[in-house]
Amino acid sequence: MDKPEKFIIDGIRLDGRKPDELRPMKIEVGVLNRADGSCYLEFGKNKVLAAVYGPREVHPRHNQKPTTAVVRFRYNMASFSVEERKRPGPDRRSIEVSKVSREAVEPMIFTEYFPKSAIDIFVEVLQADAGTRTAGINAASIALADASIPMRGLVSSCAVGKVDGELVLDLMKDEDNYGEADMPVAMTPDGEITLLQMDGNLTREELKKALEMATEGCKQIYKLQREALIGRYKKELEEHKEDVELVETITESEETSIESTTTVNIDESGGLDDE
């Protein structure tokens, strides 16, 4: 598509969004049987799949770290994911995206719990429409949680950019291609930034406002990520309802017997005190 004449008409963007509005996000957790954790995520027209394996043995062995786990992140774009066929295999861009994505999620993982092991994260982009690294980080973060990797929290990610001289949240393809700036951000639920990149130019004031918009966007994404993870385990609990009820009955009866034992103990000690 050629460069549109205008990106914002009467306060509305080309895809019908307001400047501070995210694209719709759809999340499915636990979609791959062989992976320890997985997630399928749609972010607007982006479609990505994340798979997590580990903690597991490191191969080759000389890559293992004696006191922490090694976190490896591979971002890959399918040949059919973009308009013009992408040559398969790693290239400069995918190596860069893999590196920054690893750095975005790694601080949240308790790597010190798993010395000499590896945690492998794979992100496959099936359909790309700008913001694939942010979609990949959101999916990876959920897949890590689904793999029961101990984490300080989830990482959420979105981009802020500039079109027609105005800041906009979560760029779609035309805004990314022809816009004046693109700034992908990833942050923790506490607002700590784990990824901040910048393409183009922003003034100091714009940068401040862009960070505020990204923070708001990440908060909304965090909510969706959390809901998706809770939903997954609710579903699992419902599927095993009878087992859960049985466990609850056993727990309740155990609690009752503990209570009665405690009463006896109190009586006994009371008796001792009286002596």
What is the binding site for ligand UDP (CB under 6 A)? 82-83, 86, 93, 128-133, 173, 176
Return the residue matching tokens 């401040």: 208
Return the residue matching tokens 């942050």: 187
User: Which of 83/190 has CB closer to ligand UDP?
Assistant: 83
Cα separation of 69 and 275, whole Å?
A: 58
DSSP 153: -
Q: How far is the CB of 193 from ligand UDP (least distance, A)?
A: 16
Cα separation of 96 and 247, whole Å?
A: 48
Residue type (1 letter), 158: C
Q: How far is the CB of 231 from ligand UDP (least distance, A)?
A: 26
User: Which of 82/196 has CB closer to ligand UDP?
Assistant: 82
User: Which of 128/167 has CB closer to ligand UDP?
Assistant: 128
User: Which of 149/211 has CB closer to ligand UDP?
Assistant: 211
Q: How far is the CB of 110 from ligand UDP (least distance, A)?
A: 27
Q: How far is the CB of 84 from ligand UDP (least distance, A)?
A: 6
Cα separation of 210 and 116, whole Å?
A: 40
Give the CA-trace dihedral at 181, 13, 44, 24, to 10 degrees.
120
Element (H, E) at 259: helix 241-274
Cα separation of 117 and 66, whole Å?
A: 9
Q: How far is the CB of 114 from ligand UDP (least distance, A)?
A: 29
Q: How far is the CB of 19 from ligand UDP (least distance, A)?
A: 18
User: Which of 70/135 has CB closer to ligand UDP?
Assistant: 135
Q: How far is the CB of 27 from ligand UDP (least distance, A)?
A: 18
User: Which of 199/239 has CB closer to ligand UDP?
Assistant: 199
Helices 241-274, 204-239: axis angle to 10 degrees equals: 90
Cβ contact 131:158 at 8 Å: yes
Cβ contact 141:186 at 8 Å: no
Non-local (6+) Cβ contacts of 132 within 8 A are: 46, 48, 75, 77, 97, 125
Cβ contact 4:177 at 8 Å: no
Closest to 14 measured CA to CA, from 125, 134, 159, 178: 178
User: Which of 138/225 has CB closer to ligand UDP?
Assistant: 138
